Protein backbone atom coordinates (compact mmCIF):
# COMPACT_ATOMS: atom_id res chain seq x y z
CA UNK A 1 0.00 0.00 0.00
CA UNK A 2 1.24 3.46 -0.91
CA UNK A 3 -0.10 6.40 1.10
CA UNK A 4 0.10 9.64 -0.84
CA UNK A 5 0.09 12.71 1.39
CA UNK A 6 -0.70 16.30 0.45
CA UNK A 7 0.70 18.45 3.31
CA UNK A 8 -0.54 21.92 4.23
CA UNK A 9 0.05 24.35 7.04
CA UNK A 10 -3.22 23.56 8.85
CA UNK A 11 -4.04 20.04 7.63
CA UNK A 12 -2.65 16.96 5.92
CA UNK A 13 -4.68 14.82 3.50
CA UNK A 14 -3.66 11.21 2.88
CA UNK A 15 -4.93 8.81 0.22
CA UNK A 16 -4.14 5.10 0.46
CA UNK A 17 -3.73 3.29 -2.88
CA UNK A 18 -3.05 -0.34 -3.69
CA UNK A 19 0.56 -0.54 -4.90
CA UNK A 20 -0.32 -3.04 -7.65
CA UNK A 21 -3.60 -1.70 -9.06
CA UNK A 22 -3.41 1.96 -7.97
CA UNK A 23 -6.98 1.57 -6.69
CA UNK A 24 -7.90 3.98 -3.91
CA UNK A 25 -8.54 2.15 -0.65
CA UNK A 26 -9.37 5.08 1.62
CA UNK A 27 -8.57 8.70 2.32
CA UNK A 28 -8.34 10.86 5.45
CA UNK A 29 -7.74 14.50 6.34
CA UNK A 30 -6.29 15.38 9.76
CA UNK A 31 -4.95 18.49 11.44
CA UNK A 32 -1.26 19.25 10.97
CA UNK A 33 -0.52 18.80 14.67
CA UNK A 34 0.72 15.94 16.83
CA UNK A 35 -2.81 14.66 17.47
CA UNK A 36 -3.52 14.71 13.73
CA UNK A 37 -0.27 12.88 12.99
CA UNK A 38 -1.19 10.16 15.47
CA UNK A 39 -4.63 9.88 13.89
CA UNK A 40 -3.12 9.42 10.43
CA UNK A 41 -0.72 6.76 11.70
CA UNK A 42 -3.46 4.80 13.47
CA UNK A 43 -5.63 4.99 10.34
CA UNK A 44 -2.78 3.70 8.12
CA UNK A 45 -1.91 0.84 10.48
CA UNK A 46 -5.51 -0.32 10.43
CA UNK A 47 -5.51 -0.50 6.61
CA UNK A 48 -2.39 -2.58 5.91
CA UNK A 49 0.72 -3.88 7.66
CA UNK A 50 2.91 -3.23 4.62
CA UNK A 51 2.85 0.44 3.70
CA UNK A 52 5.01 3.23 2.34
CA UNK A 53 4.31 6.91 2.93
CA UNK A 54 4.84 9.06 -0.17
CA UNK A 55 4.93 12.69 0.95
CA UNK A 56 5.05 15.63 -1.43
CA UNK A 57 8.37 17.32 -0.69
CA UNK A 58 7.17 20.74 0.49
CA UNK A 59 10.01 21.35 2.97
CA UNK A 60 8.63 23.29 5.93
CA UNK A 61 4.98 22.17 5.76
CA UNK A 62 5.86 18.48 5.33
CA UNK A 63 8.75 18.34 7.82
CA UNK A 64 6.69 17.85 10.99
CA UNK A 65 4.71 14.91 9.64
CA UNK A 66 7.81 13.37 8.09
CA UNK A 67 9.78 13.51 11.35
CA UNK A 68 6.85 12.03 13.30
CA UNK A 69 6.52 9.09 10.90
CA UNK A 70 10.26 8.39 10.88
CA UNK A 71 10.42 8.41 14.69
CA UNK A 72 7.48 5.98 14.64
CA UNK A 73 9.44 3.54 12.47
CA UNK A 74 7.52 4.18 9.24
CA UNK A 75 9.03 4.07 5.77
CA UNK A 76 8.80 7.44 4.05
CA UNK A 77 9.80 8.57 0.55
CA UNK A 78 9.81 12.11 -0.81
CA UNK A 79 7.96 12.90 -4.04
CA UNK A 80 9.22 15.99 -5.96
CA UNK A 81 6.31 18.32 -6.81
CA UNK A 82 7.26 18.22 -10.52
CA UNK A 83 6.23 14.57 -10.70
CA UNK A 84 2.67 15.50 -9.81
CA UNK A 85 1.72 17.19 -13.08
CA UNK A 86 1.59 13.98 -15.09
CA UNK A 87 -0.28 12.16 -12.33
CA UNK A 88 -2.99 14.85 -12.24
CA UNK A 89 -3.44 14.80 -16.03
CA UNK A 90 -3.93 11.04 -16.06
CA UNK A 91 -6.37 11.03 -13.14
CA UNK A 92 -10.02 10.24 -13.74
CA UNK A 93 -11.17 12.99 -11.38
CA UNK A 94 -10.88 16.45 -12.92
CA UNK A 95 -10.33 19.58 -10.88
CA UNK A 96 -8.11 20.15 -7.89
CA UNK A 97 -8.63 19.37 -4.22
CA UNK A 98 -6.58 18.00 -1.35
CA UNK A 99 -7.83 14.40 -1.88
CA UNK A 100 -7.10 14.67 -5.62
CA UNK A 101 -3.59 15.97 -4.87
CA UNK A 102 -2.95 13.23 -2.30
CA UNK A 103 -4.10 10.68 -4.83
CA UNK A 104 -1.75 12.23 -7.42
CA UNK A 105 1.20 11.96 -5.00
CA UNK A 106 0.56 8.25 -4.49
CA UNK A 107 0.08 7.63 -8.23
CA UNK A 108 3.32 9.47 -9.01
CA UNK A 109 5.18 7.32 -6.48
CA UNK A 110 3.69 4.13 -7.96
CA UNK A 111 4.42 5.21 -11.53
CA UNK A 112 8.04 6.13 -10.85
CA UNK A 113 8.60 3.30 -8.40
CA UNK A 114 8.93 3.64 -4.65
CA UNK A 115 12.44 2.21 -4.80
CA UNK A 116 13.47 4.96 -7.24
CA UNK A 117 12.42 7.83 -4.95
CA UNK A 118 14.78 9.19 -2.27
CA UNK A 119 14.16 7.78 1.18
CA UNK A 120 13.41 10.31 3.89
CA UNK A 121 15.42 10.28 7.09
CA UNK A 122 15.78 12.35 10.22
CA UNK A 123 17.70 15.59 9.68
CA UNK A 124 21.45 15.67 10.26
CA UNK A 125 24.11 18.38 9.86
CA UNK A 126 22.91 19.04 6.31
CA UNK A 127 19.70 20.57 7.71
CA UNK A 128 21.69 23.30 9.46
CA UNK A 129 23.58 23.97 6.22
CA UNK A 130 20.27 24.20 4.33
CA UNK A 131 18.85 26.71 6.80
CA UNK A 132 21.92 28.96 6.68
CA UNK A 133 22.09 28.75 2.89
CA UNK A 134 18.40 29.65 2.48
CA UNK A 135 18.82 32.56 4.89
CA UNK A 136 21.82 33.87 2.98
CA UNK A 137 19.98 33.60 -0.35
CA UNK A 138 17.08 35.59 1.12
CA UNK A 139 19.47 38.32 2.27
CA UNK A 140 21.17 38.46 -1.13
CA UNK A 141 17.78 38.72 -2.86
CA UNK A 142 16.84 41.58 -0.53
CA UNK A 143 20.16 43.29 -1.24
CA UNK A 144 19.57 43.01 -4.98
CA UNK A 145 16.16 44.64 -4.67
CA UNK A 146 17.63 47.50 -2.62
CA UNK A 147 20.49 47.99 -5.08
CA UNK A 148 18.05 48.32 -7.97
CA UNK A 149 16.03 50.89 -6.06
CA UNK A 150 19.21 52.76 -5.12
CA UNK A 151 20.40 52.99 -8.72
CA UNK A 152 17.13 54.53 -9.89
CA UNK A 153 17.16 57.10 -7.09
CA UNK A 154 20.78 58.02 -7.80
CA UNK A 155 20.01 58.46 -11.48
CA UNK A 156 17.10 60.73 -10.59
CA UNK A 157 19.30 62.83 -8.28
CA UNK A 158 22.20 63.14 -10.73
CA UNK A 159 22.44 61.16 -14.00
CA UNK A 160 26.22 61.72 -13.99
CA UNK A 161 26.71 59.49 -10.95
CA UNK A 162 28.24 56.35 -12.46
CA UNK A 163 28.16 53.08 -10.51
CA UNK A 164 29.94 50.09 -12.04
CA UNK A 165 27.91 46.93 -12.56
CA UNK A 166 27.93 44.53 -9.61
CA UNK A 167 29.91 46.95 -7.45
CA UNK A 168 27.23 47.92 -4.91
CA UNK A 169 28.13 44.93 -2.75
CA UNK A 170 31.75 46.10 -2.44
CA UNK A 171 32.77 47.98 0.69
CA UNK A 172 34.97 50.47 -1.20
CA UNK A 173 32.16 51.46 -3.58
CA UNK A 174 29.61 51.86 -0.78
CA UNK A 175 32.03 53.90 1.34
CA UNK A 176 32.80 56.24 -1.55
CA UNK A 177 29.11 56.61 -2.39
CA UNK A 178 28.21 57.27 1.23
CA UNK A 179 30.77 60.08 1.45
CA UNK A 180 29.50 61.63 -1.78
CA UNK A 181 25.89 61.57 -0.58
CA UNK A 182 26.91 63.07 2.76
CA UNK A 183 28.37 66.11 0.96
CA UNK A 184 25.16 66.74 -1.00
CA UNK A 185 22.22 68.84 0.10
CA UNK A 186 20.22 66.59 2.42
CA UNK A 187 16.97 66.34 0.48
CA UNK A 188 14.49 63.54 1.07
CA UNK A 189 15.88 61.56 -1.86
CA UNK A 190 19.45 61.88 -0.63
CA UNK A 191 18.52 60.77 2.89
CA UNK A 192 16.70 57.72 1.47
CA UNK A 193 19.76 56.89 -0.64
CA UNK A 194 22.03 57.10 2.41
CA UNK A 195 19.70 54.75 4.28
CA UNK A 196 19.73 52.29 1.37
CA UNK A 197 23.55 52.42 1.23
CA UNK A 198 23.73 51.57 4.93
CA UNK A 199 21.31 48.69 4.42
CA UNK A 200 23.38 47.36 1.51
CA UNK A 201 26.49 47.44 3.69
CA UNK A 202 24.73 45.56 6.49
CA UNK A 203 23.38 42.89 4.13
CA UNK A 204 26.76 42.43 2.41
CA UNK A 205 28.53 42.08 5.74
CA UNK A 206 26.00 39.53 7.01
CA UNK A 207 26.08 37.58 3.73
CA UNK A 208 29.87 37.34 3.96
CA UNK A 209 29.64 36.17 7.58
CA UNK A 210 27.17 33.45 6.60
CA UNK A 211 29.42 32.33 3.74
CA UNK A 212 32.36 31.95 6.14
CA UNK A 213 30.15 29.99 8.53
CA UNK A 214 28.99 27.77 5.68
CA UNK A 215 32.56 27.14 4.58
CA UNK A 216 33.44 25.89 8.07
CA UNK A 217 30.41 23.57 8.05
CA UNK A 218 31.12 22.27 4.54
CA UNK A 219 34.76 21.66 5.43
CA UNK A 220 33.68 19.59 8.40
CA UNK A 221 30.94 17.73 6.51
CA UNK A 222 32.31 17.11 3.01
CA UNK A 223 35.70 18.78 2.37
CA UNK A 224 36.15 16.62 -0.75
CA UNK A 225 33.53 18.70 -2.55
CA UNK A 226 35.67 21.84 -2.23
CA UNK A 227 38.46 20.02 -4.05
CA UNK A 228 36.18 19.43 -7.05
CA UNK A 229 37.02 21.98 -9.80
CA UNK A 230 34.24 24.53 -10.18
CA UNK A 231 32.64 23.76 -6.81
CA UNK A 232 32.86 26.66 -4.37
CA UNK A 233 31.55 27.01 -0.85
CA UNK A 234 27.98 27.97 -1.76
CA UNK A 235 27.63 25.31 -4.45
CA UNK A 236 29.02 22.65 -2.13
CA UNK A 237 26.60 23.76 0.58
CA UNK A 238 23.67 23.49 -1.83
CA UNK A 239 24.75 20.00 -2.87
CA UNK A 240 24.96 18.84 0.75
CA UNK A 241 21.63 20.44 1.64
CA UNK A 242 19.69 19.11 -1.36
CA UNK A 243 21.21 15.61 -1.42
CA UNK A 244 20.47 15.38 2.34
CA UNK A 245 22.45 12.21 2.86
CA UNK A 246 23.91 10.34 -0.10
CA UNK A 247 23.11 7.00 1.54
CA UNK A 248 19.47 7.63 0.55
CA UNK A 249 20.52 6.78 -3.01
CA UNK A 250 21.64 3.26 -3.78
CA UNK A 251 23.28 4.39 -7.02
CA UNK A 252 24.44 7.50 -8.81
CA UNK A 253 21.66 6.94 -11.37
CA UNK A 254 19.03 7.60 -8.70
CA UNK A 255 20.80 10.78 -7.65
CA UNK A 256 20.98 11.89 -11.28
CA UNK A 257 17.28 11.21 -11.69
CA UNK A 258 16.43 13.31 -8.63
CA UNK A 259 18.61 16.12 -9.97
CA UNK A 260 16.92 16.03 -13.37
CA UNK A 261 20.18 15.31 -15.22
CA UNK A 262 19.31 11.75 -16.26
CA UNK A 263 18.39 12.15 -19.96
CA UNK A 264 15.01 10.89 -21.11
CA UNK A 265 14.81 8.56 -24.09
CA UNK A 266 12.91 10.21 -26.95
CA UNK A 267 13.69 7.74 -29.72
CA UNK A 268 11.22 6.86 -32.46
CA UNK A 269 11.83 4.42 -35.30
CA UNK A 270 15.29 4.95 -36.76
CA UNK A 271 15.76 8.18 -34.87
CA UNK A 272 17.65 7.48 -31.66
CA UNK A 273 18.01 10.42 -29.31
CA UNK A 274 17.53 11.66 -25.76
CA UNK A 275 15.87 14.86 -24.63
CA UNK A 276 16.26 17.29 -21.76
CA UNK A 277 14.88 16.14 -18.41
CA UNK A 278 12.90 18.99 -16.84
CA UNK A 279 11.80 17.06 -13.76
CA UNK A 280 13.56 16.50 -10.45
CA UNK A 281 15.04 18.82 -7.86
CA UNK A 282 15.81 22.04 -9.71
CA UNK A 283 18.01 23.42 -6.91
CA UNK A 284 20.23 20.36 -7.15
CA UNK A 285 20.17 20.72 -10.94
CA UNK A 286 21.25 24.35 -10.54
CA UNK A 287 24.24 23.37 -8.42
CA UNK A 288 25.39 20.85 -11.03
CA UNK A 289 24.86 23.43 -13.78
CA UNK A 290 27.07 25.95 -11.96
CA UNK A 291 29.88 23.42 -11.72
CA UNK A 292 29.51 22.39 -15.36
CA UNK A 293 29.57 25.99 -16.63
CA UNK A 294 32.62 26.83 -14.49
CA UNK A 295 34.49 23.71 -15.58
CA UNK A 296 33.67 24.47 -19.22
CA UNK A 297 35.55 27.77 -18.82
CA UNK A 298 38.43 26.90 -16.52
CA UNK A 299 38.99 23.13 -16.25
CA UNK A 300 40.97 21.64 -19.14
CA UNK A 301 39.76 17.98 -18.80
CA UNK A 302 36.15 19.21 -18.91
CA UNK A 303 36.87 21.33 -21.97
CA UNK A 304 38.42 18.33 -23.73
CA UNK A 305 35.41 16.22 -22.74
CA UNK A 306 32.96 18.79 -24.13
CA UNK A 307 34.95 19.13 -27.35
CA UNK A 308 34.88 15.37 -27.84
CA UNK A 309 31.13 15.26 -27.28
CA UNK A 310 30.58 18.07 -29.79
CA UNK A 311 32.81 16.23 -32.29
CA UNK A 312 30.46 13.26 -31.92
CA UNK A 313 27.64 15.44 -33.25
CA UNK A 314 26.10 16.80 -30.06
CA UNK A 315 25.20 20.44 -29.63
CA UNK A 316 26.84 22.54 -26.92
CA UNK A 317 23.79 22.21 -24.67
CA UNK A 318 23.66 18.44 -25.14
CA UNK A 319 27.36 18.19 -24.30
CA UNK A 320 26.81 20.24 -21.13
CA UNK A 321 23.96 17.93 -20.14
CA UNK A 322 26.30 14.97 -20.61
CA UNK A 323 28.84 16.69 -18.37
CA UNK A 324 26.19 17.29 -15.71
CA UNK A 325 25.26 13.61 -15.76
CA UNK A 326 28.92 12.75 -15.29
CA UNK A 327 29.17 15.23 -12.41
CA UNK A 328 26.21 13.58 -10.67
CA UNK A 329 28.14 10.30 -10.76
CA UNK A 330 31.29 12.00 -9.49
CA UNK A 331 29.50 13.77 -6.63
CA UNK A 332 27.72 10.58 -5.58
CA UNK A 333 31.09 8.91 -5.19
CA UNK A 334 32.64 11.88 -3.43
CA UNK A 335 29.83 11.98 -0.89
CA UNK A 336 29.75 8.23 -0.34
CA UNK A 337 30.94 7.14 3.08
CA UNK A 338 33.63 4.79 1.75
CA UNK A 339 34.31 5.76 -1.86
CA UNK A 340 36.54 3.41 -3.83
CA UNK A 341 39.25 5.50 -5.50
CA UNK A 342 39.86 2.85 -8.15
CA UNK A 343 36.32 3.23 -9.55
CA UNK A 344 36.37 7.00 -9.94
CA UNK A 345 35.99 8.03 -13.56
CA UNK A 346 38.36 10.65 -14.93
CA UNK A 347 36.95 13.09 -17.46
CA UNK A 348 39.91 12.79 -19.80
CA UNK A 349 39.58 8.98 -19.95
CA UNK A 350 35.78 8.67 -20.07
CA UNK A 351 35.34 8.05 -23.78
CA UNK A 352 31.93 6.45 -23.46
CA UNK A 353 29.87 6.93 -20.30
CA UNK A 354 26.50 5.15 -19.99
CA UNK A 355 23.31 7.18 -19.59
CA UNK A 356 24.78 10.38 -21.03
CA UNK A 357 22.83 12.56 -23.40
Cα angle: 282, vertex 123, 241; to 5 degrees = 30
Quickly list DSSP for 127-162: HHHHHHHHHHHHHHHHHHHHHHHHHHHHHHH-TT--
**Does 31 score more than 60 pLDDT?**
yes
Listed residues 65, 88, 116: the one ending a domain: 116
Secondary structure of the chain: what % helix, strand, coil (to 5)?
60, 10, 30
At 205-247, the pLDDT tens digits run 999 999 999 999 999 999 999 999 999 999 999 999 988 888 8
Mean pLDDT of the 170-178 span: 92
Domain span at residue 13?
A: 2-116
Alpha carbon separation from 229 to 81, 285, 337 (Å, rounded): 31, 17, 21
Q: Is residue 354 part of a domain?
A: no
Query: Among positive and negative, which fits the CA dihedral 154, 160, 161, 166?
Result: positive
Establish if 106 belongs to a structural domain. yes
Rg of the chain's alpha carbons, rounded to an integer? 25
CA atoms within 13 A on the CB side of 49: 0
Tell whether 337 and 229 lie within a shared domain: yes
Do 229 and 343 lie in one domain? The reply is yes
Predicted confidence at residue 345, as pLDDT, reads 38
Residue 299 lies in a domain: yes
Same domain, 191 and 212: yes
The last residue of one of the domains, among 198, 221, 244, is 221
> What band does 91 get if pLDDT is binned at 50, 70 and 90?
low
Last residue of a domain, one of 183, 199, 221: 221
CB 346 within 8 A of CB 326: no
Same domain for 327 and 267, yes or no, is yes
User: What is the C-alpha separation between 54 and 108, in angstroms, rounded?
Assistant: 9
Q: Is 58 helix (H, G, I), strand (E, B) or coil?
A: coil
Distance CA 57, CA 243 (A): 13
Answer for the pair 255, 285: CB distance below 8 angstroms, yes or no.
no
Structural domains in the chain (count): 3
Asked whether residue 276 is assigned to any structural domain, the reply reads yes
pLDDT at position 348: 43
Amino acid sequence: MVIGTDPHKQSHTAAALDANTAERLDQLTAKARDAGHERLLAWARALDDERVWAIEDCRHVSGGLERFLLRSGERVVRVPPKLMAGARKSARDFGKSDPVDADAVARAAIRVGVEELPQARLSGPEHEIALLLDHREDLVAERTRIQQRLRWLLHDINPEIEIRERSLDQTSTLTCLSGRLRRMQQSTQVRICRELVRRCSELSRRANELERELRALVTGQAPQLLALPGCGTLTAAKLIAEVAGVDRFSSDAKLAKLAGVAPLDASSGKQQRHRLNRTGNRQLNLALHRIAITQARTYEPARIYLARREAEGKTRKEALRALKRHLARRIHRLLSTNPNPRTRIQLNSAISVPCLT
